[in-house]
Amino acid sequence: MRVSERAQRTQVPGSAGAGVPPGVASVLSVLRSSAVVVDAEDRVLRASSAARAFGMVSDDRLVLDELLAMARLVRRDGEIRETEIQVGRARGRSRADGRWFAVRVAPLGSHGLVLVLAEDLTDMRRTEAIRRDFVANVSHELKTPVGALSLLAETVESAADDPEAVRRFAGRMQYESVRLTNLVQDLMTLSRVQGDEPLPDMRPVGLDEVTAEALDRCQIKASSKEIELAVGGQPGLKVRGDEELLITALRNLVDNAVAYSPERTRVVVSTRRVDDLNIEINVADQGIGIPDAEVERIFERFYRVDPARSRQTGGTGLGLAIVKHVTTKHGGEVTVWSKEGSGSTFTIRLPLLEPAAETPAAPLHTTAEI
């Protein structure tokens, strides 16, 4: 729930500052915290709308027993007190429900008035929890290849007299270190595109070049499964963006299309101008598809429909999170259509570069649209 600043300034109807020492009301109105003033009889003289909206005050009473008890103690001994409280947690639901507040209760003047200030910590707590989860996930993901490498190193040592075994284990060490490098590379890319700062390297970028480069980087993997990579759609389209990041995003989609498709199928990348303002890049495969219930989650970091399969294909679980953030950073969005057993089509939609200037004189037509 968000309560606007204007709303926070609103006073209790019918109790506009009554009994509150002069000047205090205006000070409270500029504070970001929810504020409540109670009088010597525990009646609420003034409450910000946020305090009401968050369920701390109802009519002229402090609803939460904990706050009321604190206000009485403070009135009695004049000591400032602090605590953290959770408001609006539904019965039987997890601790993540409801909102968290840091509360300070202090005496106000000498007539038994007490001030309750509550600062909303909910968003901070959520961000902290997400960060903690992410660090735990990263550590877990790093542990696997690092553990495998150290085991392999031990095995190589003990197989020093068997050149064939050494060669085999060295190959597996190489595989694990590639996995580790990919993971670190993806983490670095993700941290670049996750923040709020704009990308520094935005210039006109041709989609033909982005597509060619992305396909080039997937060619070896595709050939090993005899998967045909085809290009179609409208050539010559341009967007404003960071070329390397756009290539990375498209390569991730094509990489997945290849990884989650059976041998001897087809992956098609096509570009088209949707309207005066936008272009689309489609990546369509004839692969295993994604169950309806999972489609929502696949763009989350480290989320995999089938973790064992993703590990087998060398996936980091970060590919689609990168695609999502890169597209968002470019003012666009990524969507997916998928049918289990039939295939998936991922679509990146981006703003067209200088739409007015780019409008061709002749009507648009699509060449070899697939």
Verify binding: residue 326, ligand ADP, rule CB under 6 A.
Answer: no
What's the Cα-to-Cα distance from 64 to each of 4, 20, 76, 122, rounded to whole Å? 23, 22, 19, 18
Three-state secondary-structure class, residue 88 = coil
Enter the DSSP assignment of 33: S
CB of 122 to ligand ADP, least distance (A): 28
Provide, rounded to whole angstroms, the least separation between the CB of residue 261 and ligand ADP: 7
Is 101 an interacting residue with respect to ligand ADP (CB under 6 A)? no
CB count, 10 Å around CB of 213? 16
306 counts as binding ligand ADP under rule CB under 6 A: yes
Of residues 200 through 229, those in contact with ligand ADP by CB under 6 A are: none
- C-beta nearest to ligand ADP: residue: 315
Nearer to ligand ADP, 199 or 305 (CB): 305
Among 70, 315, 348, 352, binds ligand ADP (CB under 6 A): 315
- Is position 340 an interface residue for ligand ADP (rule: CB under 6 A)? no
> Each residue of 160-195: b (16+ CB within 10 Å) or e?
eeeeeeeeebeeebeebeebbebbeebbebbebbee
* 138 binds ligand ADP, rule: CB under 6 A: no
270 lies in the site for ligand ADP, by CB under 6 A: no
Phi, psi angle pair for 112, to nearest 5°: 80, 10
The span from the CA of 114 to the CA of 39, in Å, is 6
Q: Which of 67, 113, 298, 350 binds ligand ADP (CB under 6 A)?
A: 298
Alpha helices (H) in the chain, listed in sequence order: 5-9, 24-30, 49-53, 65-77, 122-158, 163-194, 207-224, 243-259, 292-295, 307-312, 319-329, 355-358
CA angle 19, 101, 6 (to 5 degrees): 55
Please select the residue that binds ligand ADP; options are 285, 349, 350, 352, rule is CB under 6 A: 285
> Are the CB atoms for 34 and 56 separated by under 8 Å?
yes
> Shortest gap between Cβ of 55 and ligand ADP (angstroms)?
39
Instruction: Please state the closest distance from residue 300 (CB atom) to ligand ADP, in A.
Output: 8
- C-alpha separations of 69 from 37, 44, 53 in Å: 14, 14, 21
Binding of residue 11 to ligand ADP (CB under 6 A): no
Counting contacts by CB under 6 A, is residue 316 touching ligand ADP?
yes
Selected range binding ligand ADP among 108-116, 273-281, 318-326, 353-361, rule: CB under 6 A: 318-326
Give yes or no for residue 249 binding ligand ADP (CB under 6 A): no
Torsion angles phi and psi, residue 361, rounded to 5: -65, -40
d(CA 32, CA 9): 10
Is residue 344 at the binding interface for ligand ADP, with CB under 6 A as the rule? yes
Task: Give the closest residue to 260 by CA, choosing from 339, 189, 366.
Answer: 339
Is residue 269 a contact point for ligand ADP (CB under 6 A)? no
Among 317, 326, 327, 353, binds ligand ADP (CB under 6 A): 317
Contact range with ligand ADP by CB under 6 A, out of 39-47, 105-113, 255-263, 353-361: 255-263
Residue selected from 74, 214, 257, 353 as contacting ligand ADP according to rule CB under 6 A: 257
Name the site residues for ligand ADP (rule: CB under 6 A): 252, 256-257, 260, 285, 287-290, 298, 303-306, 310, 315-321, 344
